[in-house]
Amino acid sequence: MATVYDFTVKDRQGNDVSLEEYKGKILLIVNTATGCGFTPHYDPLEAMYKELKDKGFEILDFPCNQFANQAPGSDDEIHDFCTLKFGTEFPQFAKIDVNGDTASPLYAFLATEKPFEGFGKGIKNAALNKFADANNKKFGDKAYIKWNFTKFLIDREGNVVSRFEPTADMDDVKKAVVEALG
């Protein structure tokens, strides 16, 4: 059975990084964008990282520009923005695609393990769903991720245990991470 440890990704400098390097840790894998309405998620993500990294927790940040051109910068520009504006210290990798024929194999795996189940209830979530559907039509059955700041929680064995859409309450995300840490 496949796990996230079977995948290799690129760091910001273009070097291969085996996710096996994170074996035994609780991971939160997130696709991000610097110009998204959910970009303020960097604040609670960084706070969670600072609080829990010494307990075996890592956040893996994968910038993506497939949602309304909200991450148009270079890898270095995106990194500078995140570190200067939000003080992020967690690992940030090279910009990737999460949907379509060019989707990162890691993201195709994550989304297959935990498919989209909706943004939740309410007018704001319904509006996002409509906007996401229009944006993702071009990806057809390979529209794995519906929007920026989708988060996948990975256990210490590399299994995908939860998926959190960007509309999920960050307190609920943190609660799940803490629970996974034991």
Is 64 one of the catalytic residues? no
Residue keyed to tokens 């379509």: 100
CB neighbour class for 10 (10 Å; exposed up to 12, middle 13-18, buried from 19):
middle
Candidate list 26, 27, 28, 36, residue with the active-site label: 36
Q: What are the Cα distances from residue 44, in Å, to 39, 80, 88?
A: 10, 18, 10
Cβ atoms 78, 95 nearer than 8 A: yes
Distance separating alpha carbons of residues 178 and 66, to the nearest angstrom: 31
User: Quick one: tokens of 73?
Assistant: 């910068």
Are 167 and 128 contacting, i.e. CB atoms less than 8 angstroms apart?
Answer: yes
Catalytically active residues are 36
